[in-house]
Structure 1
Amino acid sequence: MSELNPSGRKGRFISVEGVDGAGKSTQLAWLADWLTTQGIHFISTREPGGTPLGEKLRALLLSEPMHLETEALLMFAGRREHLAQVIEPALQRGDWVLCDRFTDATFAYQGGGRGLPLEKFAALEQWVQGRDEGVLQPDLTLLFDVPPEVSAARMANGRVLDRFEQEAADFHTRVRNAYLQRAAADPARIKVIDANRTVEAIQHELAAQLPQWLGSVTQINRASR
């Protein structure tokens, strides 16, 4: 469900998405600082990963060649564990969750990038994330968007690339397009951020828009504790 604070949730769930090289790591650190200044108790986590089992799956997914459907199924298997062990308990006790990637990434990378059928992901999404009130989704998703040539230039910094980052340019173009299509289908939840700007310009926009996107943070935080 896309509406903020759906039934049964005490905390808020924010995810951060974008193609490789979009600058997510920098903005995640800023978001963590921003939440802290608002007096909000939160946890930071990531996908794939987030649990001991999830981190083992992450190591496999980022380095080992495998069948494309195996890759997608492992993503959802790790997500089921992540939800059960980390995300849902945090939301129920009133903590906020700041997550580096969630299901939108699977639709973008395994759907758009790999070309696997989206209807299969929709069924897995319903199975893994389905609740009485609907499919559990983040309350707010920040999609940091850059053109493929910009992300490629940013990744060409000499570091060792994982097997997704090593994919050809057309793969990353498909990933970006899938992200933007997903955002267009759910604009209330997914906010597209032009990440082809200075870090300071992006953070200025976030500081201005986050209270509006999340509502009155102070009031929400006070009511949830």
Structure 2
Amino acid sequence: MIEHGLKLITTEQDYEIDVAPENDVVSEIRALIKKHNLEAGDKLPSERKLSEKLGVSRNQIRAGIQKLEFYGIIETLPQSGSIITGIGVPSMNTMMKDVLDLDTPDFNALVETRVLIESQAVQMAAVRCTEESLKQLEMAHQNFVDCITNGLPSLIEDMKFHLAIVKASENTVLYGLMKIIVPDIIGHFNKEDICDRTQAIKLVSEHTDIVEAIKNKKSDDALEALNLHFAALRKYTKK
């Protein structure tokens, strides 16, 4: 694995006025890859270096990196930082351009779409959930619990749990749609600091109820548990 201790690149054409900070991060990484012909396995600059260069918070840097991670363009490894995946440079450039070209929806629209997707998916999951998808759901839930227990950031694990719910529906279209909106949801959560850490225990309990309903193949209970879980989120969007 090669770590490039290179000066970060900033080109006028890579930036637009009034773009979201995470898109600045995407543009910076895209310029870096193009300028230095970075390949699969090459390491990106640290969050600290990107933060200093772009003049934005590390949370905003993390949101941009998470966006690329969810699209499979980069991968973050424990103790190693973020590296480029092996999807190939031409495909990677196209995907990054597509990410930048996406309109940024308002948070209310994201919540409405998420609720529609998950409300359908959680009922389907209770009926269709396989042994493997249930195992993945329970693992995602446990990872979230571990983060809460150890006082670690839990937003990503929370979203992975909800992705696991949709994946358990065995509907690839719903899962694909959910993966598209997740990066923007994460960006809004980071920017607005929506997550209330004092509600951690309540969230764990609500996640547990959802898992148990799916495990017991009770679709009505699964939907009810999800609706209770989304109550605070719906309330926030009405402010």
| Bucket of the pairwise TM-score, normalised by the shorter protein | under 0.3
Question: Higher strand proportion, which one?
Answer: 1
Length-normalised TM-score, structure 2: 0.23
Question: Higher helix proportion, which one?
Answer: 2
Length-normalised TM-score, structure 1: 0.24
Which has the bigger relative contact order, CA under 8 A and spacing at least 6?
1
